[in-house]
Structure 1
Amino acid sequence: MNAISCLFLDIGGVLLSNGWDYKFRQRAAEHFHLDANEMENRHGLLFVTYEEGRITFNEYLDRMVFYQKRDFTPDQFKDFIFSLSTPDLEMIAFIKKIKLQYGLKVIAVSNEAREINAYRINKFKLNEIFDFFVSSCYVHRRKPDAAIFRLAIDGAQAPLDELVYIDNTQMFVNMAKGMGITSIHHTDYLSTAKALADLGLSVKEKSIEFQPQNLKEETSSPVRKMMRIGVASDHGGFDLKVKLVALLKTAGYEVKDFGAYQLNTDDDYPDFVIPMSEAVANGEISRGVAICGSGVGACIAANKIAGVRSALITDSFSARQGVEDDNMNIMCLGGRITGSALAGELVQIFINARFKNEERFLRRLNKVSVLERNKD
């Protein structure tokens, strides 16, 4: 077998959530108070034509939803659909790494409607991963039609034994195998990474190499204290918290764990996040990391404490810029959203970043402080 030179990837279910699947249609029906069965029946008549790019998004919605007067607009319905897409940041980071490390060509082979496809490419910067897109809306073929695989093979310009196909749908995996393409049934990051490693595409997993060399916190106090990190989570972030606490301690940081101290699916994030946020606000700890399932609840709770500036972080730019420009002192993570490798990198960036202390940033933060002082 030759060395792998090209990956074929499905998008929905591998790098991102699905774009518009049954679960999402049910959510849309509930949100907009539609007859879910009627909508699903209409979708069933339309979706092949729609995903193959033979009718527009507006035509699809007109026939599925807006065949009668509604108390919401097509644009509101579209925005809801777009809002459902979420990334698997761990898989995205992994594919980027092996693409770079091995000089791979990466081709999307996906069933996706044109407008949703375009939104997801732009929103999640998929053109930084894929060399080109064999999407059903562009080629007017959709899986399980073998023609879409043949188009991808022709575009790859590589021998079959240099190709690997990754999809979360077993039927499509079996089809690709039947065409002579080595294929992986994706269920999660770890199993896919192992399967690729077995094919010679291994990435040395970076244990998170924090650089604590005498990092100090800039404060108004004349005493410059060594950085002390607080970490708090509920059950949704418990596993990630345990890993981050261990990594931080190994790197030499002083860490205060605000709980939870054991996994309890009935616990509540404010019980852990609020005490840590108060400790950040009063200077007991330098910076905090708050984790719940999505990171949203933890962020809402933390920002209720005067002096706390927290944000939900999913990318390295925001982890750095949030500190440099906005003096962010608590970073919030989603334990069910962000993998441990990426979370470790984000925490390292957050800890290493320093507030720029420039007049424009101070001016803006002062306006926020005024709101805090006047809230009563």
Structure 2
Amino acid sequence: MKLAIGSDHNAFDLKETIKEFLSDTEHEVVDYGCHSKDAVDYPDVAFEIAQAISEGKAERGIIFCGTGIGVCIAANKYPGIRAALAHDVYSAERAQLSNNAQIITMGSQIIGPEAAKKVVEAYLNVEWAEGSKRKVDKIIEKEEQFVSQNYKEAVAGSNCSVN
């Protein structure tokens, strides 16, 4: 599986640890940064990974920041993306099994390297079996309503027309 991984500067060390952990697996890992401990705004990395997944450049993503909350919120702003905060094995499995989450997020100030490895492993070792498809479809439908409505409002405010 092709994985997108990234972090802000606060979680650089944890990202590097997980990247090294994944190097011993069959997964192809693409590092979207940051690439040093120089300050980086976490939304920038989260948006880039969400876009890569949306465009099919990666199948799943793992994003880190100090708490995991900021990158989760940011990634979920990207249409079509479902990101889930996961700091334990159960939530990592459920992110995929129940929600078909393309991204999990973690916080370097919350979880240690060994626990993070177990969370990543749990997330990557399960596939969505469409058990909660009805619920996920409701989320997708609502998102599509908002995206369509916002597009129509944006076009209405311009000199273009919408059919």
Is TM more than 0.5 here? yes
Hey, what's the Cα distance between the residues in 2 that align with 1:301 and 1:237? Answer: 16
Hey, what's the Cα distance between the residues in 2 that align with 1:322 and 1:312? Answer: 8
1:330-351 CA-partner distances (Å, limit 9, x unpaired) = 0000011100000000000000
Query: In the alignment, residue 119 of structure 2 is paired with which amino acid?
Result: L
Q: Structure 1-normalised TM-score? A: 0.38
Give the structure 1 partner of residue 100 of structure 2.
327
Secondary structure of the residue aligned to 1:247 is helix
1:103-143 CA-partner distances (Å, limit 9, x unpaired) = xxxxxxxxxxxxxxxxxxxxxxxxxxxxxxxxxxxxxxxxx
- Deviation of 1:321 (Å): 1.3
Q: Structure 2-normalised TM-score? A: 0.87
- Deviation of 1:318 (Å): 0.9
- Deviation of 1:371 (Å): 1.7
Regions of 4+ moved over 6 Å = none
Hey, what's the Cα distance between the residues in 2 that align with 1:232 and 1:307? Answer: 19
1:179-205 CA-partner distances (Å, limit 9, x unpaired) = xxxxxxxxxxxxxxxxxxxxxxxxxxx
Give the structure 2 partner of residue 369 of structure 1.
140
2:81 aligns with one of 296, 308, 317: 308
1:246-290 CA-partner distances (Å, limit 9, x unpaired) = 1111223210000001111x3200111111111112221011001
Give the structure 2 partner of residue 238 of structure 1.
12
Hey, what's the Cα distance between the residues in 2 that align with 1:283 and 1:372? Answer: 19
Query: In the alignment, residue 254 of structure 1 is paired with which amino acid?
Result: E
Hey, what's the Cα distance between the residues in 2 that align with 1:252 and 1:370? Answer: 34
Hey, what's the Cα distance between the residues in 1 that align with 2:69 and 2:130? Answer: 28
Hey, what's the Cα distance between the residues in 1 that align with 2:46 and 2:105? Answer: 10
1:6-48 CA-partner distances (Å, limit 9, x unpaired) = xxxxxxxxxxxxxxxxxxxxxxxxxxxxxxxxxxxxxxxxxxx
- Deviation of 1:365 (Å): 1.1
Give the structure 1 partner of residue 159 of structure 2.
none
Of stretches 314-323 and 342-351 in structure 1, the one that deviates more from structure 2 is 314-323
Give the structure 1 partner of residue 25 of structure 2.
251
1:62-141 matched pairs, under 5 angstroms: none
- Deviation of 1:329 (Å): 1.1
Secondary structure of the residue aligned to 2:41 is coil
**Percent sequence identity over aligned pairs:** 33
Query: In the alignment, residue 142 of structure 2 is paired with which amino acid?
Result: L
Hey, what's the Cα distance between the residues in 2 that align with 1:253 and 1:354? Answer: 15
Work out which of the two has the higher radius of gyration on C-alpha atoms and give 1 or 2: 1
Which structure 1 segments of 5+ residues have no match? 1-226
Which structure 2 segments of 5+ residues have no match? 151-163
Give the structure 2 partner of residue 221 of structure 1.
none
Hey, what's the Cα distance between the residues in 2 that align with 1:249 and 1:367? Answer: 36
Which structure would you say has the larger RCO, counting Cα contacts within 8 Å and 6 or more residues apart? Answer: 2
* Number of residue-to-residue matches in the alignment: 147
Give the structure 1 partner of residue 110 of structure 2.
337
1:283 aligns with one of 52, 56, 60: 56
